[in-house]
């Protein structure tokens, strides 16, 4: 069993926090196209939610990954997608490799304040010419004595305008593309780091997303996470937690939209009865609820395997793929039942429609998830066929 009675207290505490400190402000943050990350993260840090499964010696709780999944599921109750995503970047995208492979020195400098909520983190992997194709990044970190000198740029960086440091993936040699990259912690106030612009996005409005340039940015090599040249491997490991987290955060968000749609269609009248009374509507909502439960089962199964130390690449990839596809189908169907109101920005279903679209893109597009699965199945063209090996 993934969750036990031990999860109940932190779950209730997080639910209470979301109801009191986040949801009352979501509409305001959405209109402002940003939320106060430092203020909110400090409150979360004080409650211990930014380091549930991080090492105790650096301020974490030292719990297993089931607690991170519990947190992700509860964050889905936030009535927008941008704030949960920003929190997830801090806890499950910018810091897992640092917590797992970083030296004590670099963890004291970057991980500890991130867990405490004293600093906001972001992760720099994607570039204008290398989104899901991580191996093709061009940003480089040239060795110069005891330093790296970084040049290049990153795109679609969540928390980018507010972050104190970035977990940066850069080429540190001219070797093979899967063995020439390193993850480096770069303070955002370092000379040569330029936040070029905040992106104007379709959805996730309350999350600030930036394009960032690096012009001869000099950082000490001690800021590197783990071994030089292992950055691609570390990032791939980190991706599995990110993708599982990204799927889990969809669960309550999907259920919220189903329930809101039930309430709206029950009260909306047309042709002498409620919209909900039409079989096509209540049957579709039942199907969508079933799909959410199936996704939950897949996520919980993957979570149990991860906690047991198993490789969850296959299951996490499936969960990420399914969550994105379901989010698109579910919000589209529900929006249709809201009629003209669904096409306005004042309804929760239109926000969910915009926000959920990113799940099929960020952290690896659907097509990349399918490539990963086909490779594992031995059906990807160009591979030696090995059945299900």
Closest CA relative to residue 261, chosen from 273, 248, 275, 251: 275
How many C-beta atoms surround the C-beta of residue 213 within 10 A? 15
At 172, phi and psi to the nearest 5? -110, 5
Are 264 and 338 in contact by the 8 Å Cβ rule? The answer is yes
Are 195 and 70 in contact by the 8 Å Cβ rule? The answer is no
pLDDT in tens, 241-283: 899 999 999 999 999 999 999 999 999 999 999 999 999 999 9
Closest CA relative to residue 123, chosen from 84, 156, 76: 156
Would you say the C-alpha torsion 389, 240, 363, 125 has a positive or negative sign? Answer: negative
- Whether the predicted model's global pTM rises above the 0.75 cut: yes
Quick one: three-class SS letters along 137-176? Answer: CCCEEEEECCEEEEEEEEEEEECCCCCCEEEEEEECCCCC
Query: In 3-state terms, what secondary structure has residue 371?
Result: helix
Query: Which residue is catalytic, options 73, 74, 242, 255?
Result: 242
d(CA 217, CA 332): 44
d(CA 71, CA 88): 9
Q: Is 242 labeled as catalytic in the residue annotation?
A: yes
Are 48 and 70 in contact by the 8 Å Cβ rule? The answer is no
Helices (H), the chain: 8-17, 26-32, 37-46, 65-75, 82-92, 96-101, 104-106, 112-116, 231-248, 250-267, 279-307, 313-338, 348-356, 366-377
pLDDT in tens, 192-214: 999 999 999 999 999 999 999 99
Closest CA relative to residue 96, chosen from 230, 241, 232, 309: 241
Packing angle, helices 348-356 and 250-267, rounded to 10? 150
Q: How far is CA 290 from CA 182, 190, 257, 283, 297, in A?
A: 42, 50, 14, 11, 11
pLDDT > 90 fraction of the chain, expressed in percent and rounded: 95
How many C-beta atoms surround the C-beta of residue 105 within 10 A? 10
pLDDT in tens, 335-377: 999 999 999 999 999 999 999 999 999 999 999 999 999 999 9
pLDDT greater than 80 at residue 59: yes
């Amino acid at each position: 069993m993934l969750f036990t009675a031990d999860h109940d207290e932190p779950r209730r505490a997080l639910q209470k926090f979301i109801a009191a400190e986040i949801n009352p402000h979501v509409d305001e943050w959405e209109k402002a196209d940003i939320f106060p990350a430092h203020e909110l993260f400090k409150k979360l840090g004080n409650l211990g939610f930014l380091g549930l499964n991080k090492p105790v010696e650096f301020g974490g709780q030292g719990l297993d990954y089931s607690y991170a999944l519990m947190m992700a599921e509860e964050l889905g109750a936030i009535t927008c997608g941008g704030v949960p995503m920003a929190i997830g970047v801090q806890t499950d995208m910018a810091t897992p490799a640092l917590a797992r492979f970083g030296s004590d020195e670099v963890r004291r400098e970057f991980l500890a304040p991130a867990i405490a909520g004293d600093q906001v983190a972001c992760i720099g992997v994607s570039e204008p010419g290398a989104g899901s194709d991580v191996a093709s990044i061009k940003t480089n970190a040239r060795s110069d004595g005891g330093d790296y000198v970084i040049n290049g740029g990153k795109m679609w960086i969540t928390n980018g305008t507010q972050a104190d440091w970035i977990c940066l993936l850069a080429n540190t040699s001219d070797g093979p593309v899967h063995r020439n990259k390193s993850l480096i912690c770069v303070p955002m106030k370092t000379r040569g780091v330029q936040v070029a612009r905040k992106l104007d996005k379709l959805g996730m409005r309350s999350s600030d997303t930036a394009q960032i340039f690096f012009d001869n940015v000099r950082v000490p090599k001690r800021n590197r996470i783990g071994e030089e040249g292992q950055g691609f491997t570390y990032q791939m490991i980190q991706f599995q937690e990110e993708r599982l987290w990204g799927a889990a955060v969809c669960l309550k968000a999907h259920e919220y939209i189903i329930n809101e749609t039930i309430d709206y269609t029950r009260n909306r009248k047309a042709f002498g009865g409620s919209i909900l009374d039409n079989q096509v509507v209540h049957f579709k909502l039942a199907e969508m609820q079933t799909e959410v439960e199936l996704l939950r089962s897949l996520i919980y199964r993957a979570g149990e395997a991860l906690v047991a130390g198993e490789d969850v690449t296959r299951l996490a990839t499936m969960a990420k793929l399914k969550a994105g596809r379901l989010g698109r189908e579910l919000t589209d169907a529900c929006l249709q039942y809201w009629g003209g109101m669904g096409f306005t920005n004042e309804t929760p279903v239109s926000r969910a429609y915009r926000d959920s679209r990113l799940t099929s893109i960020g952290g690896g597009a659907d097509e990349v998830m399918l490539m990963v699965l086909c490779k594992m199945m031995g059906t990807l063209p160009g591979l030696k066929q090995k059945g299900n090996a």
